[in-house]
Structure 1
């Protein structure tokens, strides 16, 4: 029987290594145990999530609808159309477009999967959809990678926070980027240790990111941040697969992110009391959105 108890990424990696199984098998066994569901039931539930994610991507890159505030809508379509002319290459630009698109779908009250939150909903699915297209992967492969992503999210949730109100946007987009990087590494055939390094590299390079939504809405700068964080996740995965290690171990990185989150003033934790939210343009938008 697979051992399933882990509270840190180091423990998750050690369990996978000791039992000679991929990280997703540890997380899958944990879900089966905690939720008292069969392997097939857990996988089917995750497949349904993946189907919703893909639907939101397709809608997102075609979307021309503006949000009620008028701040967002149509940018994913523009970016996707630009993918062959950009600096980063079509795969990375397409991935960023997917992430922006999902976030725009969220902004118009469309159906998305909060992964791990609505504010960071575009990052994991965008990165995995890009991998699916690039490597011609089956949905079954993506479902297993989503379990690996979930394992990283579980650890962050237990030891830090995934909420912008508690830890700033680093807690949302940073965690999502770590989850995406971990999943990408597994899809590329990386070892459990490489998965940990990918997650660490992603969080490190989004650490300190504040949550300063204009007019208190999950639109500006949130929508485009999803696109940027997706590229961070892909870069972290590529570094890990190249054999680059995070000097600071992933669980120490998570602890540091938690500390930084506590150090951030309340004004930079989803209250819209500082940062971009109080610029002259932002205040004008807020007055237009909330005239009373």
Structure 2
């Protein structure tokens, strides 16, 4: 897909507040847009490069619904497009699927992650159609989108800061017509790495080895909201940042984390909404 460019930050926070020195991180905004990518392309909601000898995963019967539900493809990312992903040794394809039915009281989908080596995949399995089941939430089944990865520098979301600094930087930004929350901190939308754009308090999982896990990927309901669009909507955007067709909870996000010491362990998902 063509290049998509996020506007630069409207204010230089790091030049004014020394506390932000060394806090900037790079995130890769994925910018899903309606398209029809091939099975060997990075995509959201598109076809997955799935080996024929491996059964397509289902959500088991007898859990929260009567019959097994076919999982839906959410993301496929190739290392050639987003090398920033921490691919385990010998892999170059990341795949994320989830069950589109509601689970538990907080309405979270149940994810499955696969890391693969593209060159080792022989005959391919035909991807199944999305499930047609009364238990399925349509807004948990993403539209088919291509990706346009873009590297953006960002600062920690306000809930990562101590209260004094948070209040000072927000007051300073508002005096200048902006908001640290909405415009100057962590990038919104579906993205790889960088700082999570938390909706509630930070919830970094801790690995069984005792290591605090790091942000891997956020899958968001949209790319911006009624205020943050001033910074995070690329020029010329006309689809409102909702091309993926997702609405997680009441417009929340699924955050995935990985342990740098245990790269072969499955990522852990945290769900937040307002």
TM-score by length of 1: 0.25
TM-score by length of 2: 0.27
| More relative contact order, 1 or 2 (CA 8 Å, 6+ apart) | 2
Which structure is higher in helix share?
Answer: 1
Which structure is higher in strand share?
Answer: 2
